[in-house]
Structure 1
């Protein structure tokens, strides 16, 4: 109980002034210090946890520029938009030279579940030119086919650590003869990725397709395997080295193609990146050179 000291030195009939004793003052100061120590822990916790929430980043994992697929899926209610602004190919054979150009080729990846995304892709403009030595050139232009797909992650939908999934696609023959396949096709991808460290990641994509025939009537088997190594010198820069082997059993002529590729992606914000890649054919059946560049944005 507090001890009160009555000071009767007040003037006239003024009410006497009360003061705490020295022991009471010491006790009050001690209790105040205990209260401050307890509540300071709460304040410090808020100060520490505050930046953590501010630093939380969205799940931003573009598939491009990699030639392969990715097991990472878009979060529900968000959309990855990946656009190849320019995609140029050149191939020179013994009796013909082919050049093609795609503009605005895009894929929208739409998050529909915790580990599931839907996909829509289309090419608004394409140009193809073929020329024989000493002869006239043939030029075609138009739009591309509509591609629909779904990706289901089976382990770690954020793509961290060991991540794998399955992706199915359907191509509808909505495009022109210039760059369209002329018939529908289906495919299944199985991507597996592993983040070795903050500096290194590896991805393997296996794909099988019922691809449209060259004569635009019917389908045949095609298989594709892509190995990707990603080097991350900083959290904003990724360098890609890739190898691809493709086996195509088209009735007009079976072929085996091999490619090597080098790519670069720069993350310019939490929700956007710029990228580019060059692809070189390693055998006579492969397209000689391909180069493309574009951007990815998360909405």
Structure 2
């Protein structure tokens, strides 16, 4: 199986890098990602201007605010793009409900390096599938950074049910850093979503996610639900807003975010 995947990637890399024009397809908003790639010689900068997450557990409440979480995609060929992501600043405030002690930490986050190779329809039309391997570099420190390197593979796929409905799936397998920052463990997730085009420039997406984390310090299964809106203000500019709700006790209670994506 791996030989076939490598052969497809090599064929994709060998395709001519002509600058074809295609609709802008940012990876945000939402829980999943898109299989479409940025056309060669184009760059997409996608930023969460602000992202707040509340995790209210029986023993502690944690508020996490990320500022300027940015993901950059660079088109290399007709079906391959390079990726780099970084969180320049995050603030985590934790209150112990037993002692009422409050701990606050402001940190930079880790850097993510990756690439995406589209295997079918790089513009994201009809049935589109991609493979996206990545690695995280421990630039930041806990609790915003993971404290060690990690890696994973994402396989996004979309299918146009009609001119206004698009079905999406994002599968992910990770070698995730342990909670104590030493060593790695197995984690995996699945996202299923439905995008509805409300108009030529406005779309809404609803998603559900199940995430299994095999951390030695405590294995968990999280259920999440998400709703988001994306507005194409211009051909190369998108604004978005979204909310995520936890469906079980292991998941964070709520996440709210506001973002912008710009193609150059």
Cα deviation, residue 178, structure 1: 2.9
1:246 to 2:195 alignment? no
1:151 to 2:119 alignment? no
Give the structure with higher Rg (CA): 1
Q: Which has more helix, going by share of residues?
A: 1
Q: Distance in 2 between matches of 1:256 and 1:217?
A: 21
1:233 to 2:198 alignment? yes
Q: Distance in 1 between matches of 2:142 and 2:188?
A: 24
Alignment of 1:30-45 (within 5 A): none
Q: Distance in 2 between matches of 1:209 and 1:57?
A: 33
Alignment of 1:74-93 (within 5 A): 74-93=38-57
Could you tell me the TM-score, scaled by structure 1's length? 0.80
Structure 1 residue runs without a partner (length 5+)? 1-55
Q: Distance in 2 between matches of 1:286 and 1:80?
A: 31
Q: Distance in 1 between matches of 2:263 and 2:22?
A: 9
Cα deviation, residue 59, structure 1: 3.3
Alignment equivalent of 1:276, drawn from 238, 241, 245: 241
Equivalent pair of 1:143/1:176 in contact (CA under 8 Å): yes
Comparing both chains, which one has the higher relative contact order based on Cα–Cα distances under 8 Å and sequence gaps of 6 or more?
Answer: 2
1:46-105 Cα offsets, whole Å, 9 max, x none, are xxxxxxxxxx96431011002112110000000011000000000111111000000000
1:106 to 2:70 alignment? yes
1:219-245 Cα offsets, whole Å, 9 max, x none, are 000001001100002120110100000
Farther-moved stretch of structure 1 (131-140 vs 180-189): 131-140
Q: Classify the secondary structure of the residue corresponding to 1:139.
A: strand
RMSD of aligned Cα (Å): 1.0
Give 2:227's aligned residue: 262
Could you tell me the TM-score, scaled by structure 2's length? 0.91
Q: Distance in 2 between matches of 1:198 and 1:298?
A: 24
Structure 2 residue runs without a partner (length 5+)? 1-19
Alignment equivalent of 1:183, drawn from 144, 148, 158: 148
Cα deviation, residue 264, structure 1: 0.3
